């Protein structure tokens, strides 16, 4: 039998009557993500998903790496199937884990017997296989508390499976089960992390980025496209909506007080992101704001920003400090791109002394000097859409 990949479900198993729809979505996501690794059969049974190669040239290493980045999976392992026979299980363990058994000094066998028709219980299987392994590898000693190697045996409906320790999966919920949201993606560290964290809750993302040529460069735009591409390893294929923002920023500079530049700019971004949400059927916005990190992220400033839109604004990193956000950024592979020294439109016309505790009525009054509808219509007509894939 060919080597396969076993995936353990996380909180999906707690979904009660809705559980099947979550499992179906997870398997659909897996099938789509695994396509370029070859032909795989993806099935689910007893809180485990089986990823079985159907051809000899399937890329098992690539498939294994992908499975660890699909939301909804809590643990991933490569395993070797064998017949449901105690001696076959021993032989499979000896051959499949030979190098690990030779390298270890201590070990234990841990068995899960999902098929209750098997004539031995879990402890009996572990004792039998463990005893034969001790005879085959005289240097090994049994340590049930802190072994160098844990040999896992799973006796399931179709076969028995032998494997070593599993690795953590991505966790969370299958993408698509949490609805669709529009994530505002800048070129910084925070917004990719925010996008990752909300996708982990099963949310399908549309991405929005604002550009202000000639104040922002083509390199800055490509940096954000690269960030979006890096996020697809976790979030799957997405569309990046690139919104021209130069005229809006120039009009804000012309007509509004300098200390309110950032606030009014932010309100335009929220309106435009909501317009993209309406076009795409999204139900919420996602931002990378962290409370108190910069002047536009005070509680009063966030209240002013939220006033510009009518749908919920989700802020996954709102309570995180910069060190925590950077740690996640490194984990998901976006940090090195985020710190490339290219400007984004948020740094254009930055006020010397930004307003940190704005008054909503004043902000609305300053905005009244602008043709809000006309500026928005012009920007939306110039939106460029880029489909990003891994």
Global pTM exceeds 0.85: yes
Same domain for 78 and 106, yes or no, is no
Say which residues have a Cβ less than 8 Å from residue 143's Cβ, sequence separation at least 6.
106, 107, 108
Same domain for 215 and 340, yes or no, is yes
At which residue do the structure tokens 């993302």 appear? 205
The predicted pLDDT at position 120 comes to: 95
Q: Is residue 1 over pLDDT 70? A: no
Last residue of a domain, one of 158, 193, 211: 158
Judge contact between 171 and 331, C-beta under 8 A: no
Same domain for 112 and 71, yes or no, is no
Same domain for 267 and 305, yes or no, is yes
Q: How far apart are CA 310 and CA 80, in angstroms?
A: 53
Same domain for 9 and 63, yes or no, is yes
Q: Is residue 347 over pLDDT 80? A: no
Q: Look up the CATH number of the domain holding residue 144.
A: 3.30.2300.10
Confidence band for 346, pLDDT divided at 50, 70 and 90: confident
- Number of domains composing the chain: 3
Same domain for 61 and 184, yes or no, is no
Same domain for 251 and 115, yes or no, is no
Same domain for 218 and 297, yes or no, is yes
Instruction: Dump pLDDT digits (tens) for 162-206.
Output: 999 999 999 999 999 999 999 999 989 999 999 999 999 999 999
Domain that holds residue 239: 180-388
Same domain for 117 and 208, yes or no, is no
Last residue of a domain, one of 127, 142, 173: 173
Same domain for 360 and 275, yes or no, is yes
Q: Which two tokens stand for residue 194?
A: 């925010």
Report the C-alpha dihedral over residues 127, 128, 131, 135, rounded to 10 degrees. -170
Q: Look up the CATH number of the domain holding residue 45.
A: 3.30.70.1510
Concatenated DSSP letters of 186-215:
-SSSHHHHHHHHHHTBT-EEEEEEEE-TTT
Instruction: Dump pLDDT digits (tens) for 28-81.
Output: 999 999 999 999 999 998 889 999 999 989 999 999 999 999 999 999 999 999
Same domain for 305 and 347, yes or no, is yes
Instruction: Dump pLDDT digits (tens) for 200-225.
Output: 999 999 999 999 999 999 999 999 99
Q: Look up the CATH number of the domain holding residue 293.
A: 3.40.50.620
Q: Please state whether the peptide bond connecting residue 214 to the residue before it is cis, i.e. omega within 30 degrees of 0.
A: yes
Last residue of a domain, one of 126, 158, 190: 158
Q: Is residue 286 over pLDDT 80? A: yes
Same domain for 282 and 133, yes or no, is no
pLDDT more than 70, % of the chain: 100
Judge contact between 62 and 33, C-beta under 8 A: no
């Amino acid at each position: 039998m060919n080597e396969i990949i076993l995936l353990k479900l996380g909180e999906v198993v707690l979904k009660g009557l809705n559980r099947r729809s979550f499992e179906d979505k997870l398997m659909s996501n897996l099938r789509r993500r695994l396509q370029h690794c070859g032909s795989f059969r993806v099935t689910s049974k007893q809180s485990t998903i089986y990823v079985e190669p159907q051809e000899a040239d399937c890329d098992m290493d690539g498939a294994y790496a992908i499975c660890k980045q699909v939301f909804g999976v809590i643990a991933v392992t490569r395993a070797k199937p064998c017949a449901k026979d105690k001696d076959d299980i021993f032989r499979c363990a000896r051959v499949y884990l030979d190098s690990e058994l030779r390298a270890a000094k201590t070990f234990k066998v841990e068995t899960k017997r999902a098929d209750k028709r098997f004539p031995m219980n879990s402890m009996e299987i572990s004792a039998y296989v463990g005893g034969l392994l001790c005879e085959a590898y005289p240097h090994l000693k049994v340590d049930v508390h802190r072994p160098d190697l844990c040999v896992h045996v799973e006796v399931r409906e179709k076969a028995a499976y032998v494997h070593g320790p599993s690795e953590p999966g991505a966790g969370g919920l299958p993408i698509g089960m949490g609805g669709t949201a529009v994530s505002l993606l800048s070129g910084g560290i925070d917004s990719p992390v925010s996008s990752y964290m909300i996708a982990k809750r099963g949310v399908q993302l549309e991405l929005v980025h604002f550009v202000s040529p000639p104040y922002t460069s083509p390199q800055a735009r490509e940096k954000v496209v690269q960030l979006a591409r890096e996020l697809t390893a976790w979030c799957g294929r997405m569309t990046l909506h690139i919104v021209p923002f130069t005229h809006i920023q120039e009009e804000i500079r012309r007509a509004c007080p300098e200390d309110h530049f950032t606030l009014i700019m932010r309100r335009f971004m929220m309106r435009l992101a909501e317009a993209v949400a309406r076009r795409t059927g999204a139900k919420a916005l996602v931002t990378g704001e962290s409370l108190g990190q910069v002047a536009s992220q005070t509680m009063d400033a966030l209240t002013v920003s939220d006033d510009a839109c009518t749908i919920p604004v989700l802020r996954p990193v709102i309570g995180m400090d910069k060190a925590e956000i950077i740690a996640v950024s490194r984990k998901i592979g976006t940090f090195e791109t985020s710190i490339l020294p290219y400007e984004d439109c948020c740094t254009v016309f930055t006020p010397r002394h930004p307003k940190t505790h704005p008054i909503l009525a004043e902000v609305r009054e300053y905005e009244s000097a602008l043709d809000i509808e006309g500026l928005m219509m012009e920007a939306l007509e110039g939106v460029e859409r880029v489909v990003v894939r891994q």
